[in-house]
A and B are shown apart, each in its own frame.
Chain A
Amino acid sequence: MQIRKPGQVPPPSEITPEAVWLSRREWMARAALAAAAAGLPSWAARRAFAQDAAALPGQPSPAFSVMDKQTSFKDVTTYNNYYEFGVDKGDPAEYAGKLQTRPWTVSIEGEVRRPQVFDIDALLKLAPLEDRVYRLRCVEGWSMVIPWVGYPLSALLKQVEPTGNAKYVEFTTVVQRENMPGVRYPVLEWPYVEGLRLDEAMHPLSLLVFGVYGKVLPNQNGAPLRLAVPWKYGFKSAKSLVSIRLVERQPTSSWMQAAANEYGFYANVNPGVPHPRWSQATERRIGEDGLFTPKRKTLLFNGYADQVASLYQGMDLKANY
């Protein structure tokens, strides 16, 4: 180490230019701010992220939209079932901020001629995005009306060319142990798995969803991509998909695994087939039906009977619940 004698001036090459010196100060100040901010974000971002989601516009699709009054953005994004973040309806909005949605890939495999791994940004451009207003009926007896942004699942499935053996589609959703406080509890077997018959998955109503209310899907609603199958109970519309597998045999969904007597593979909305613990004849529309309004009647196939009843011709809907 060189010790400087009094009066000795360091050579100009060793003097830090003022601009660099200043920029260092600024950098340090910024770093200190960033460090301070690092303590806050989980708190500050708790609900904020839902509001500042980026825009994701789609072409209006009136042919596939219902005219019912839409449920408010606030209710759609704060009243959720997404058990990986906790079983309370408010848990997903509170804890989903930590979910990592980039990088994100979805592998499409199984009985297909062209298995592929898609990047989320490629998926977003695969087909034109549409704005579709769908009813959502939860198996618990409440419902919403939600303007989704997405395109038909069939557009994606056609890309990978299902083989003749493909009869069903199995959807697997993400597990991020570090970021999902709910997976510590054995509520269900993780990852969450859902399934559709191939003809159900190819039905024009089955939507691959990337956004809601013209914005990128908030994490608690199943970012970065999820299903919307409007004639089935909400749990069939799996969230945060990571793999889609075409298979020959009927997949066992997480809910069938957990309680086969309560949840079947089809889970079509049906007022005539009660859940073992409650009736499905009526429902309460969130945000619209107040404390003094009676519940409204649930419609067969959630009101989509004209479009989908033919899929189940000759089937006993009571046995295939």
Chain B
Amino acid sequence: MGRPASGERAHVHAAQWSAAAVGRFKPLLFVAGLLPFARWFWLGFNDGLTANPVEFLTRSSGTWTLVCLLVTLSITPLRRLLGQPALVRLRRPCGLFAFFYGSLHFMAWVWWDRGLDPASMLQDVAERPFITVGFAAFVCMAALAATSTRWAMRRMGRRWQVLHRAVYLIGVLAIVHLWWHKAGKHDFQQPLAYGVVLAVLLGWRVVVALRARRAGPEGGGP
């Protein structure tokens, strides 16, 4: 995290963006993040939510949760590849958007699928692995969102980073959730596509970590 760039990366120093410059993108990111949400309303007023709006909105919110999650996970590789450490400022808003869509996806299940009935929710989580992994992913996401403030970061110190590595686990759980959802129809195009993106994003981190270990104690982790 934010370690000084080493000599062989000198060429990227030329035009490094300041934290303030990256911060100026935040309003744009905020608008972009709300576009899927706005689209649902637009579709709703234009008869575009299909014959089964509940199913459409449930699935759409799930899809956008995963997309935001993958965007969040791509910030760190992007920082390194572009040599722009200041991009880290976009990571928290992306992660919070993932949690925003994840909460809507969760509420779709709580309200539309389970009819706000706690007993039937518990039963669903206990009996159906497909739901269990989705629920676990959401609980982890809630923990990360709750500790996403600067205050929590300072208070937790090293433990903050350990906890927030759970984002990798959330990614894997989300893919498994989607995989099992599509398994009934043997329709693996979507989980495969998202799964490959996740594998690349996580694989990159593994490669970087292994290289750093080989380079000796002076190299830090990603």
**Which residues from B are CB-within-8-Å of A199?**
none
Q: A287 to B124, alpha carbons, bound, how many Å? A: 26
Contact A279 B186 (CB under 8 A): no
Cβ-based interface call for A295 (8 A): yes
Contact A259 B51 (CB under 8 A): no
Interface of A is mostly: loop
Cβ-based interface call for A79 (8 A): yes
Cβ-based interface call for A119 (8 A): no
Give min CB distance, B221 to chain A, whole Å: 38
Give min CB distance, A13 to chain B, whole Å: 65
Give min CB distance, B183 to chain A, whole Å: 8
Cβ-based interface call for A258 (8 A): yes
Q: Determine which of B52, B120, B130 lies in contact with A284 in the assembled complex, contact meaning CB atoms within 8 Å.
A: B52
Given A186-B186, A187-B187, A188-B186, decide whether A284 and B54 contact each other with a Cβ distance below 8 A: yes
Q: A87 to B182, alpha carbons, bound, how many Å? A: 10
- Which residues between 79 and 98 of chain A lie within 8 Å of chain B, taking CB atoms? 79, 83, 87, 89-90
Q: Determine which of A187, A188, A276, A294 lies in contact with B128 in the assembled complex, contact meaning CB atoms within 8 Å.
A: A276
Q: A290 to B123, alpha carbons, bound, how many Å? A: 25
**Which residues from B are CB-within-8-Å of A277?**
128, 130, 180-181, 184
Given A279-B120, A279-B124, decide whether A258 and B51 contact each other with a Cβ distance below 8 A: no
Most buried by B among A79, A187, A290, A291: A291
**Which residues from B are CB-within-8-Å of A78?**
51
Q: A291 to B115, alpha carbons, bound, how many Å? A: 11
Given A277-B128, A294-B115, decide whether A258 and B50 contact each other with a Cβ distance below 8 A: no
Cβ-based interface call for B127 (8 A): yes
Cβ-based interface call for A56 (8 A): no
Contact B52 A187 (CB under 8 A): no
Q: A16 to B187, alpha carbons, bound, how many Å? A: 63
Contact B186 A79 (CB under 8 A): no
Give min CB distance, A238 to chain B, whole Å: 17
Q: A78 to B187, alpha carbons, bound, how many Å? A: 21
Cβ-based interface call for A75 (8 A): yes
Cβ-based interface call for A312 (8 A): no
**Which residues from B are CB-within-8-Å of A259?**
183-184
Most buried by B among A79, A142, A258, A279: A279
- B116-129: CB near A (< 8 Å → 1, else 0) gives 00001001100110
**Which residues from A are CB-within-8-Å of B9?**
none
- Which residues between 244 and 288 of chain A lie within 8 Å of chain B, taking CB atoms? 258-259, 262, 274, 276-279, 282, 284, 286-287
Give min CB distance, B43 to chain A, whole Å: 13
Contact B50 A187 (CB under 8 A): no
Cβ-based interface call for A185 (8 A): yes
Most buried by A among B50, B51, B123, B181: B51
Q: A186 to B189, alpha carbons, bound, how many Å? A: 11
- B73-88: CB near A (< 8 Å → 1, else 0) gives 0000000000000000
Closest to B180 in A: A277
**Which residues from A are CB-within-8-Å of B184?**
259, 262, 277
Cβ-based interface call for B185 (8 A): yes
User: What are 24 A-B contacts with C-beta separation under 8 Å?
Assistant: A74-B51, A79-B50, A79-B51, A83-B185, A87-B187, A89-B52, A142-B55, A185-B189, A187-B185, A187-B186, A188-B186, A259-B184, A274-B127, A276-B128, A277-B128, A277-B180, A277-B184, A282-B115, A284-B52, A284-B54, A286-B51, A291-B54, A291-B112, A295-B112
**Which residues from A are CB-within-8-Å of B130?**
277-278
Closest to B181 in A: A277
**Which residues from A are CB-within-8-Å of B51?**
74-75, 78-79, 89, 286-287
**Which residues from A are CB-within-8-Å of B120?**
279
